[in-house]
Every structure is written in structure tokens, then in C-alpha cells.
Chain A
Amino acid sequence: NAGVTQTPKFQVLKTGQSMTLQCAQDMNHEYMSWYRQDPGMGLRLIHYSVGAGITDQGEVPNGYNVSRSTTEDFPLRLLSAAPSQTSVYFCASRGLAKNIQYFGAGTRLSVL
């Protein structure tokens, strides 16, 4: 049972570089989301999607893009990395019937 798979686990970027964090789920969940977790602040929603082709902004969307071309995949793109984007990123998915979010193992990102 793979569940929610995130890659990479760790990444170091230089300021101004771009990259894509990958997220895939094999549970046929309609809803997927990206969070960032910073010390003392809990989880903050970046972007979410309620189905293929549908995305929307969360609480802290600036500097990030998403797309949802398939049910399974929901990549997060950092357009021009900044030190303020140093964080741990979690992808989560849930079905429409059950209100339980399943999280990936996280990506620890450092921007120098």
C-alpha cells in the first residue's frame, strides 16, 4: 500500500532556482492539497485541488504553482525559490466520502 508518495525527501536550492515537488496517490482520492509546516506555526495550506483540472489557492499561495492533470498526481512548483520558502512540505489526499486526510512523508526544503 503506497498511499501518498512524495519526492524528493530532501532538497537544497539556491535563491532564484526553480523546482517541482512531486506528489502521487494511489487511493483514487478526489481531493489533494499541499501544506507547508514551519516551526511553531502548524500546517498552512498552499494550494488544493478537488479533482483533475481543478485547483484553488489556499492560505499561502504566493511563489507556488500547481496543476492537476490526473487524479493521481499533484505537483507543486516553486517558480523562483526564496529563503522564506525553507520549510517542510506535505502533500495530502482524501476521498470525498471520508473526511480523513492521508499525508505523504514530507519534503524538507532548504533555500540558501
Chain B
Amino acid sequence: QQPVQSPQAVILREGEDAVINCSSSKALYSVHWYRQKHGEAPVFLMILLKGGEQKGHEKISASFNEKKQQSSLYLTASQLSYSGTYFCGTASDMDSNYQLIWGAGTKLIIKP
């Protein structure tokens, strides 16, 4: 079952914050976040494992709510370089880490 990402698209001004959600109807073991710029390959951002661990990298962080089977990606004080499409990939157990199920993506546009 494909995870549902919301919103589908968001337009922000530089410096504004954004939240991207990834929800699954199945129990999750891990959530993987990637960013893809137009015409390029997806690039890894972070992984969250079951346990509600929050991770962060500079102004991008994420959380994993095990009870809701939902992960949220937080982009703080967005920069022009944050533009792109954000994908979450989910695994329901450790074995299926090899076979992620991907959301349809959230397109983020940052305007100066």
C-alpha cells in the first residue's frame, strides 16, 4: 500500500517553514526521506526507525509517530536550494528495508 504524502505541492517564500507528511495504513518499521531536484536523481536525506526517533540535519528535521504510522519532515527557514520534490519510502519490517514503498512525492517551490 503506497504511503500518502501531503500536501501534494507547496509554494513558499524564502525563509518560511514547511511541513511534509507521510502516512501509511500499515505498521511501519522505517521511513526514508529523499529529495529530487528537477531532472536529477533522488538524494538521501534521512532515515527514521520505529521508536519515534527524531533526526535532523541543519535546518531539516523529521519525526516518526509510531502510533499514527506517520512521519513528518520539517524544513525550517527554507532556502532556495530546498526546492524540489520530496519522497518518503516506507518499510513495514526489517526485511522489507530492501523493498521500500514510495509515496507520490511533495513538490516544494521556494520563491525569493
Q: Do these two chains interact?
A: yes
Interface of A toward B, CB cutoff 8 Å: 4, 31, 33, 40-45, 48, 50, 58-59, 90, 99-106
| Closest residue of A by beta carbon distance from B8 | A40
Number of interface residues of B (CB under 8 A): 21
A45 near B41: Cβ-Cβ < 8 Å: no
B100 contacts across to A, CB distance below 8 A: 43, 45, 101
Segment among B42-50, B53-61, B72-80 that sits at the interface with chain A: B42-50
B99 near A104: Cβ-Cβ < 8 Å: no
Convert B24-50 into 0s and 1s, putting 1 for each residue whose CB lies closer than 8 angstroms to a CB of A: 000000101010000011111001000
Q: In the complex, A3→B30 CA distance in Å?
A: 25
Q: In the complex, A106→B105 CA distance in Å?
A: 17
B43 contacts across to A, CB distance below 8 A: 103
Q: In the complex, A4→B43 CA distance in Å?
A: 12
Q: In the complex, A43→B87 CA distance in Å?
A: 9
A-B CB pair tally, cutoff 8 Å: 47
Interface centre among B41, B43, B44, B97 (most CB of A within 10 A): B41
**Given A99-B32, A99-B97, A44 and B102 contact (CB-CB distance below 8 Å):** yes
Q: Which of B30, B87, B99, B103 contacts A99 (CB 8 A)?
A: B30
Q: In the complex, A64→B43 CA distance in Å?
A: 25
A99 near B47: Cβ-Cβ < 8 Å: yes
Q: In the complex, A99→B44 CA distance in Å?
A: 10
In order of increasing CB-CB distance, the 3 nearest A-B pairs are A103-B41, A42-B102, A43-B102
A90 contacts across to B, CB distance below 8 A: 41-42
Q: In the complex, A90→B102 CA distance in Å?
A: 14
